[in-house]
Amino acid sequence: MELGHFFYDLLVHNENFAGKSKDTDFSVYEDHQHPPITMLTCADSRIQGEILGMDLINKVFTVRNAGNQVARNKGSLAYALTALNTEIFFILGHTNCGAVNFAAGASLASVTKLDKHDETHSVEPATGVKKKNSGIQLASSKGESKIISMLRKSDFSAASREVQREMLPLTIPIERGIAKLVKIGDEKKELAYLSQTNVDYQVEKALEYYGDRVKEKKLAIVGGIYDFVGAYSNTKGRVVITNINGIYDKDKLQENARAFCEADAALDKSSESYKLCQKLIEEKVSRI
């Protein structure tokens, strides 16, 4: 994009928004913000607020980093969750996440190196790093998924130290996920499964820090995946809920989602949109 074009878009389009101030009452939030939701999502450009289908101004306190990692922005999250007291913490990952793929490649590369080392030495490597995840060895056995083969060939060592430092914590959840890929046998689903495993891990971390607020019913932690490849269903662009407060059994998730809707007095239970919501729980509160 030419810089001139960027200036044009910024100046002209923002003016269109600013002009709306006749209709938009900025005075509601010019002194304070009152967001009910904190959203932690990936910095990926394909994720923008529009995917949630609602006006997010003054509703969503957004924190973003590569791979939607809780530990990377603890200060901003603590401010939103404990000073602004948002009631919902939504951790949103997505399909085809570059950070997740990076971590998967790095996990596989490191294990490959250890495997080679083990062939020639009977002692542990000098770094003291031990092979701790038998799942990755399983994934390297005969019948390896295409995605694993693809990730294994990627050269992730070319990334700068700063990039590596930010991505490598993701190898912890990703190593958990890799073991199961051979059983899935669908490339879209396999990559999405790794993103889903990362979200589960980030929900776990959030429960570590904010579990007390969840117990006191001051906070609900919701994990989800933005699926723009059609990994969860044939409808691309869906946001799928994959975890609620650490629950990741599909039936229990749906049961919880129904109970939350049922308990909300503001929802008109006889309306068509409520019936649609019930139907969508079947399809969009789901897991791979």
- For residues 64 to 103, the per-residue mask of contacts with Zn ion, x marking binding by CB under 5 A and - elsewhere, is ---------------------------------x-x----
Q: Which is nearer to Zn ion, 224 or 245 (CB)?
A: 224
Q: Which is nearer to Zn ion, 101 or 145 (CB)?
A: 101
Q: How far is the CB of 226 from Zn ion (least distance, A)?
A: 9
Separation between Cα atoms, residue 280 and residue 55, nearest integer Å: 21
26: buried, middle or exposed (CB in 10 Å: 19+, 13-18, 0-12)? exposed
Separation between Cα atoms, residue 268 and residue 135, nearest integer Å: 47
Contacts of 208 (CB under 8 A, 6+ apart): none
DSSP H/E element including 61: strand 60-65
User: Per rule CB under 5 A, is residue 44 in the interface with Zn ion?
Assistant: yes
Q: CA torsion angle for 92, 265, 245, 64 (degrees, to 10)? A: 20
Beta strand extents in 81-229 (DSSP E only): 88-94, 220-227
Sheet holding 88-94, edge to edge: 60-65, 37-42, 88-94, 220-227, 238-244
User: Per rule CB under 5 A, is residue 227 in the interface with Zn ion?
Assistant: no
Q: Which is nearer to Zn ion, 45 or 141 (CB)?
A: 45
Q: How far is the CB of 94 from Zn ion (least distance, A)?
A: 6
Cβ–Cβ < 8 Å for 57, 50: no
Q: How far is the CB of 129 from Zn ion (least distance, A)?
A: 26
Q: Which is nearer to Zn ion, 42 or 103 (CB)?
A: 42
Number of residues engaging Zn ion in binding (CB under 5 A):
4
Among 39, 40, 42, 114, binds Zn ion (CB under 5 A): 42
Q: How far is the CB of 12 from Zn ion (least distance, A)?
A: 30
Q: Which is nearer to Zn ion, 44 or 227 (CB)?
A: 44
Q: How far is the CB of 177 from Zn ion (least distance, A)?
A: 15
The binding site for Zn ion (CB under 5 A) comprises 42, 44, 97, 99
